[in-house]
């Protein structure tokens, strides 16, 4: 069967069986940012946004998402021009192996679309379905809270501060030692 979907704003016709799983179909179509860490529906690594709702793509059949709008991690920023959520994850060193991160960022995106100023507890609840073995959730939670702040600043038209509180890039070889 061919299914028509909107993926990351582009209309796509994707060949797949009706019961084919959305995560593997997206991966086969080149959206490799969709990760699979379990046998289906438990780890959250395959989380994408389907018609405005963050969902694990692996448990879903292609037939059930026909005609939907799907957003994957590839829809956000590029390496040279990160989305503020991605930038916050980078600046807080909230990423270790990175395998859970696309799913966590998609969950964050939905959270911040609904709640611009979440509490720490709300952040933890939003990413509760995403298993991360590396970070103990500490830095990701800090990154999400900071991302919320950045997005609020953006919408209030405040210039993004270049001096990051944490992290930040070192772009010179430093001053001479003498």
Partner 1 sequence: MARSTAEVSAVTDRDGVPDGGTATPRAPDDAEHPLEWDEQENNDLSPEERTSVSQPAEKVDDRKLVTGQAKYTADYDERFPELARAKVVRSEIPHGNVVDIDASAAKAMDGVCAVITPDDEAVPDAKYTSAGQSYPEPSPWDMRVLNEHVRYVGDPVAAVAAVDEETAEEAAAAIEIEYEEHDHVVDPEAAFSEDAPRLFGADEVDNEIVGHDYARNRMAHIEGKIGEVAAATEREDVHVHESEWSTIRQSHAQVEKHTTLAYTDEDERHVLITSTQVPNHTRRQLAHLFDVPIRDVRVKKPRVGGGFGGKQAMVVEPIALALSLAASRPVLYEATREEEFGAMRSRHPMRVRARSAVTADGTIEAIELYALSNTGAYGSHGMTVAGNVGSKPLPLYSKVPNVRFEADIVHTNTPQTGAMRGYGAPQGTLALEGHLDRVARDLGIDPIEFRRDHYMEVGDLDAIAGMMGGEGAERRIRSCGLDECIARGKEAVGWDDLEQPAAEQLHRGIGMALSAQGTGVAGDELGAAQIMMNEDGSFHLQVGGVDIGTGADTAFVQIAAEVLGCAPADVVVKTSDTDNTPFDYGAYASSTTYISGMAVKKAAEDAKERILKWGSHMLDEPVEQLDTCGSEVYSDRTGASVTLEEIGYESVYGEETREHILGKGTHSTEESPPPFAAQFVDVTVNEETGEFDVNKLVVAVDCGVAINPKMAEGQIEGANHMSYEMAVNEGITVDSEGRAEQRDYEEYSFPTATESPPIESILVETHEPTGPFGAKSVAEVPTNTVPPALSNAVREAVGVRITDMPITAEKIKRALDEP
CA–CA separation, 90 and 98 (whole Å) = 11
Contact between 42 and ligand FES by CB under 6 A: the answer reads: yes
The nearest distance, CB 95 to ligand FES, in angstroms, is: 6
Residue 145 binds which entry of partner 1, ligand FES, none, with Cβ cut-offs from 5 to 8 Å by kind?
none
Do 84 and 150 meet the contact criterion of CB atoms below 8 Å apart? yes
Alpha-carbon torsion (115, 78, 38, 93), positive or negative: negative
- Binding characters for partner 1, 2-21, by CB under 8 A (x = yes): --------------------
Neighbours of 51 (CB within 10 A): 12
CA–CA separation, 178 and 172 (whole Å) = 17
Contact between 36 and partner 1 by CB under 8 A: the answer reads: yes
Contact between 108 and partner 1 by CB under 8 A: the answer reads: no
- Binding characters for ligand FES, 89-108, by CB under 6 A (x = yes): ------xxxxxxx-------
């Amino acid at each position: 069967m061919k299914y028509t979907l909107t993926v990351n704003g582009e209309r796509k016709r994707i060949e797949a069986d009706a019961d084919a799983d959305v995560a593997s179909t997206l991966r086969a179509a080149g959206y490799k940012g969709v990760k699979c860490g379990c046998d289906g529906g438990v780890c959250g690594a395959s989380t994408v946004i389907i018609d405005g709702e963050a969902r694990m793509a692996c448990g879903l059949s292609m037939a059930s998402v026909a005609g939907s709008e799907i957003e994957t991690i590839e829809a956000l920023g590029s390496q040279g021009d990160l989305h503020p959520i991605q930038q916050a994850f980078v600046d807080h060193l909230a990423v270790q192996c990175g395998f859970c991160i696309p799913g966590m960022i998609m969950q964050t995106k939905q959270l911040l679309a609904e709640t611009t100023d979440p509490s720490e507890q709300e952040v933890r609840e939003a990413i509760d379905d995403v298993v991360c073995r590396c970070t103990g959730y500490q830095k990701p939670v800090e990154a999400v809270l900071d991302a919320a702040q950045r997005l609020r600043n953006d919408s209030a038209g405040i210039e993004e501060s270049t001096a990051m509180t944490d992290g930040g890039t070192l772009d010179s070889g430093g001053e001479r030692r003498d």
